[in-house]
Every structure is written in C-alpha cells, then in structure tokens.
Chains A and B, each alone.
Chain A
Amino acid sequence: MEAASIHARLRERFGDAVGDLTGSGRTVGATVEPARIAEVAAWLRREPALLFDCLSTLAGVDYPKRSVIQVVYVLYSYRLRHWLTLRVDAPRDDPRVPTVTGVWSAADWQEREAFDLLGVQFEGHPDLRRILMPEDWPGHPLRKDFVEPQEYHGISTSRESLLKA
C-alpha cells in the first residue's frame, strides 16, 4: 500500500494523534503523540490491510534547539512489502515514551540502546538497563550537551599529543 493511503487510514483511525505525512522513500511517515504510540503500533501490526510485522529499526535523535528527543520507528511489512516511519517527539527534560516491546519483541534491545545513549524512559519496558555503556556511566553520551568525564575509575580519558611544537 502507498504511504499516503496508509497515512489516510491512520488519520481516520487515530485523528489528530497522527501528524502530517512527511519524508520520502523509506523514511516517509508521520509524527505520533507520545502517549498513543503503543496503541498505534499495535493497530498497525494487527490491521489486515497493513500488517506491519517487522520493526526494522528504532532510533533516538536529540534536537536541543527544539528541546525534543525524537524516537524514530521504521516499520516494514514482509507480507505486504510496504514501509512506514513513525516519529515521536518527547520533551527533552523528561522523555517518557510507552514501550512497544509488547508489539514487536525486536524493540527490547533497541529501546535499551535509546535509553542508554539518550536517556529515553520507555515506560513498561520489561528490562530497561544500559546495554552498551557501563552500568555506572554518568549521563547519556549521545545527548548533544553531554560532557565527557575527565576520568573513569581513575583512568584519564585524555591523552597528551606526542607532537609537541
């Protein structure tokens, strides 16, 4: 199904919770209200004409100017061979987004990564721990205002240049 008609169906079902159609190709899609994303995801997976059975990727993006952390869901339907991208804008100071692990179990580690690197709290996630950084790491390193600590467990994180003038 074409992205425009998928979008029209979404609008018909969820009304203003779904934003305008933006992007092109595989990133064509719409923004969704944070509180409704799990519901929208479950419907997209179930709906016989859509059948988005694959969460291709889930990523987080930091937009400090808009004070937003965006979670991007790239969906694909193996059965019907169409793509859709959903975007969720969460407030930067307290980004809380319902989990979609109940819809696609592939979201488990992807959400843990977004939590680890950007600090997005996925509510209802079964095991929201850091996945890449050490457990005792300060802060979330992919935030644009992240400042690298001077040392970690006594290991200095900078090195003098060997090229001295």
Chain B
Amino acid sequence: MSLINTVPDMALTARVDDLLNWTRKSSVWYMMFGLACCAIEMMQTGGPRADLERFGMAPRATPRVSDVIIVSGTLTLKMALRTKLLYDQMPDPKYVVSMGSCANCGGLFQLAYSVCDGVDKVIPVDVYVPGCPPRPEALTEGLVKLQQKIQQEKWLVRKTDPVGVRA
C-alpha cells in the first residue's frame, strides 16, 4: 500500500506556529474601552457597515477574556492608573491598539494638567491608529495590521532566545 493512500482526502499541513497564530488572529476579542469621542467611531467599526465580526472580532465587557484593548479616546492621568490595572488583568497573549491622536500622544489636550500624553507611557502599544478621530476604515486597517502582527508571532521559539520574543 502506498503512502498516499494512508492520508485522508482532506488534509492540511502547517507549522504549529502558523496554526496557532491563524486561530489566534481569527478570534481577536477586543475590550470595550471607550474613553471619549473615538469610542463613537469604535462602535461604528463594530457595527454592520465596517463589521469587525467578519474578522472574528467581538466586543467584550471584561478584560479577563479580552485579547486586545482598543484605547479609544483621551486618557487622563486618573484613568491611566486604571488602564494599567485593566491591562494587567488581561490574559497573555495580549495586544494594545492606541486609537486616535489623544491615545497616541495626548493630542489636542496634551498640554492640559490632567491628561496623560499617550497611552504608551503606561502600557506597551502594538498598533497606533492616527486620526482625530480615525474613521472606521482606519481602525479596521489598524486591526488588520494587528492580525498581520499576530500571524508573525513565534511562540515556539525558546524564551532565552531574544529573537522573536515579545518584549
């Protein structure tokens, strides 16, 4: 009996990394974290026209089951501490999307006494989406970029090896 006949008709082969990443990128659940006007655009992105669900992305109300936190809006210093707390509650692997000028660098309000100049001062950011606020198309592109990043993760590389390990 030849080897060919022992393989079922329907079979796919893949590297484990690719398979893991493929499953992970296809079910990126995002935490609802609306801070300001960007949140309105985030809701639109989740709505039927931009439709994030076609990428397997569903909104979650708790950080404990979320894969990505979309920081959408002006981050005050008071909220920055709470953002760190929420981020720390998310299970690994976790990602951060900084949405809009305020989350990127403080934006229009960066000289105000109460505003944190960018969410990257508190938690590490994977994708920055520019705009004030970004249109749903822009946020969608940012999340597709995040999917591309997830697809390139190398989970099986030994942790002692600095190459490919997330900081």
Residue ranges of A at the interface with B (Cβ–Cβ < 8 Å):
132-134, 141, 146, 148, 152-153, 155-159, 162
Contact = CB atoms under 8 A, between A and B. Distances in A.
Nearest to B81: A153
Contacts of A132: 114
Contact of B121 (A133, A156, A162): A156
Contacts of B122: 155
Contacts of A141: 113-114
Given A141-B113, A141-B114, A146-B113, A157 B105 contact: no
Contact of A159 (B77, B114, B118): B118
B114 A155 contact: no
Interface of B: 77-78, 80-81, 105-106, 110, 113-114, 116-118, 121-122
Given A134-B78, A152-B77, A153-B81, A159 B113 contact: no
Nearest to A153: B81
A134 B79 CA distance: 9
A132 B118 CA distance: 20
A157 B117 contact: yes
B22 to A, nearest CB: 36
B109 to A, nearest CB: 12
A100 B77 CA distance: 31
Contacts of A157: 77, 113, 116-117
